[in-house]
Amino acid sequence: MKITLMRAAACLALFGSAMAHAQTYPTKTITMIVPFAAGGPTDTVARLVAQSMGTKLKQQIIIENVGGAGGTIGAARVAKAAPDGYTLFLHHIGHSTAPSLYRKLAYNAQTDFETIGLVTDVPMMIVARKDFPAKDMKELLAYVKANKDKVTYANAGVGSASHLCGMLFMTAIGTDLTTVPYKGTGPAMNDLLGGQVDFMCDQTTNTTSQVKGGKIKAYGVTTKTRLPFMKELPTLAESGLPGFDVAVWHGLYAPKGTPKPIVDTLAGALQTALKDPTVKQRFADLGTEPVAESRARPEALRAHVKAEIERWQPIITKAGVYAD
């Protein structure tokens, strides 16, 4: 009886201190980890959201880029971070494909994280260096098949969205290509611009301005419908790859054990950021839009991660792609 009472008192004290902490939170700079290199699409989304959330929370949110191994190095870092609300994690669809792609992961994508909310769904484009010898998707498919030993495909490593898109693309055309992995598609884009690699599939948040500026060529969009701001660009499904439909969803997380009042504060700040006219405008310029408020919530992202892990597992097993 005495022990039970003591335990209850200890629990109350812990709860009390978490509440007190949550009431004053945040009192210092917050770090948002992005598991890819600076200058890429995930980094771009994170910086826009972090700036606006920071304004709402009256504390700066800085971005730390922890790239490598398709986002799994950054995820492992967050899984081990202190659950105090000062480490956040902005990742994308790769958080749900990594558990099936990696034989060994240093974390559990569901149980090692608190979910805060979904952020945005971003279409991808197949893009190539400016002087790539194919004028449309039909020619690109023919060229790639005929030159499979010399064509190079850039991606951000096994587990990245560009890897996933490439994997689906190669499965659809029945051809394996030489892939060139980077720590993010920011640096991959630099090499595409410089002509060192031939093509890649990446979020519109990285490709739109380069395509509009005529610096790279676009061949198709990965979603079921065409992009409202680039109507002339066909979907991959229309261009000989039926059923192709991928959008890169992004979510915001904290380490497991981050107190619920803090998670709720962060979810509120995320919802405010997604209504910020500057964020909405920048997202629109880059070919995306914020998710509806009902999806920018902890329970919505939790359910989404689970459903996506279940969705990709059989597809990845069928493709037979694994990493150690």
Binding site for ligand ASP (CB under 6 A): 36-37, 40-43, 94, 155-156, 160-162, 184-186, 202-203
- CA distances in angstroms from 165 to 56, 126, 139, 153, 157, listed in the order given: 35, 9, 19, 11, 12
Least separation in angstroms between residue 291's CB and ligand ASP is: 18
Contact assessment for residue 270 and residue 119, using Cβ atoms and an 8 Å cutoff? yes
Residue placing its CB nearer to ligand ASP in the complex, 69 or 296: 69
Token digits for 268?
């509120």
Residue placing its CB nearer to ligand ASP in the complex, 37 or 140: 37
Least separation in angstroms between residue 297's CB and ligand ASP is: 24
Burial 289-323 (b: 16+ CB within 10 A, else e): ebbeeebbbbebbbebbeebbeebeeebeebebeb
- Dist. CA 126–CA 3, nearest whole Å: 63
Q: Which backbone phi and psi does 285 adopt, to 5 degrees?
A: -60, -30
- Minimal CA–CA distance to 221: which of 144, 123, 121, 107? 123
Residue placing its CB nearer to ligand ASP in the complex, 40 or 290: 40
Token digits for 60?
């700066």
The SS3 assignment for 307 reads helix
- CA distances in angstroms from 127 to 120, 187, 235, 304, 312, listed in the order given: 21, 15, 13, 28, 24
- Dist. CA 21–CA 234, nearest whole Å: 51
Return the residue matching tokens 């890429």: 40
Least separation in angstroms between residue 2's CB and ligand ASP is: 55
Residue placing its CB nearer to ligand ASP in the complex, 70 or 298: 70
Residue placing its CB nearer to ligand ASP in the complex, 140 or 156: 156
Name residues whose C-beta falls within 8 Å of residue 254's C-beta, 6 or more positions apart in sequence. 78, 83, 85, 87, 88, 89, 113, 114, 116, 262, 263, 266
Least separation in angstroms between residue 43's CB and ligand ASP is: 6
- How would you classify the pairing of strands 216-221 and 113-129? antiparallel
Least separation in angstroms between residue 169's CB and ligand ASP is: 13
Residue placing its CB nearer to ligand ASP in the complex, 43 or 308: 43
Closest residue by beta carbon to ligand ASP: 40
Residue placing its CB nearer to ligand ASP in the complex, 22 or 37: 37
Residue placing its CB nearer to ligand ASP in the complex, 36 or 283: 36
Least separation in angstroms between residue 309's CB and ligand ASP is: 17
Least separation in angstroms between residue 218's CB and ligand ASP is: 15
- Dist. CA 132–CA 217, nearest whole Å: 8
Residue placing its CB nearer to ligand ASP in the complex, 184 or 298: 184
Least separation in angstroms between residue 206's CB and ligand ASP is: 6
Least separation in angstroms between residue 58's CB and ligand ASP is: 28
